[in-house]
Structure 1
Amino acid sequence: MNEEQLDLLMKQHSGRLLRVAYYYTKNLHTAEDIVQDVFIKYYHLRQPIDPSITERYLIKMTANKAKDYLKSWHYQRLVFQEKWHSLKNQQQDALVIHDEEQLISTAVLRLPMKEREIIAYYYLEGLTLKAISELIQINENTLKSRLVKARKLLKAQLPEVEWEVLKDDTL
């Protein structure tokens, strides 16, 4: 096989082989490397392959190379590292969330009873202003005023916390 024949073969089959390798590896760069290795190996074959089965032969070579990659130590190490980092990030995220929740809880507990009550019902329980109004038998406009005041008090207590609901003073 000469280089021109290989170039023609690559133009004809690269797309399909790349898809096959990608279906196995789920990584474009790895799939490209596998297809490149397949063409190099095909170029160095001692016996020519029957042109009628060339495509099937290349697909089989690609699938086998992809399977070998998935069994490789390198791939197994990558999978382990991804799982480790994911677990580590989840633990860190949980700690950060817990710390923020504790800061917010402490700040809410420092609010006067009227403002604490509206924050608890509105944000923690997810009740609407109308439902809270009916529950504690206070005018809805009064509740809106208390909610705005409670947000301002929380902002003052938590200047370093980026809490989305505190940014919105409108109701």
Structure 2
Amino acid sequence: MKYLVKQAIKGDADAFLELMEQNSLNMYKVARAILQNDEDAADAIQDTILTCFEKLDTLKKPEYFKTWMTRILINECNKILRHYRHIKMPEFIPEQSIRDSSIAEIEFKQMLELVDEKYRVVLVLYYVYGFKLQDISELLGINENTVKTRLVRARNQLGELYFGHSQSVKRCTAGEKEGMIL
């Protein structure tokens, strides 16, 4: 990926497109977890891709491309959330997924939507995107210990939702993280 980033910085449009394609699923998962809406997630991703393309020359270290891009995505999601806070929306109607999903996947998505936003973002960045605690700390601009605390609280919230009482949720291995779909 580092090679693609260097090529994209030099102006290679194909390399940039390949980078975006490689990261599109993870960008969708993060945006969807924050915004809880496919259309808004698509808008955030589109704005993120445009911003990345326009400001790629400001990236100092190619190895931090993924972190840099995710920070831009989170900022775009927060912009959309701020926009909606100023608009009074009619009662929210949950959208129905068109694709087939397993019952466990549907339950997980529903539980994830019930978790507080600050915990949900940390869960998605850690388990779906595979970021380390230090990277999440930098992305969100918060202390690493705060990230750890939010991760524990998120697991506890999920445990309460799933089991009906406070029970810590088992940590996933790297292999389990890769198979997890949001």
TM-score in same-fold range (> 0.5): no
Q: TM-score range by the shorter chain?
A: 0.3 to 0.5
If the length of structure 1 is used for normalisation, what is the TM-score?
0.43
Please report the TM-score for the alignment, with normalisation by the length of structure 2.
Answer: 0.41
Which protein, 1 or 2, shows the higher relative CO under an 8 Å CA cutoff with sep ≥ 6?
2
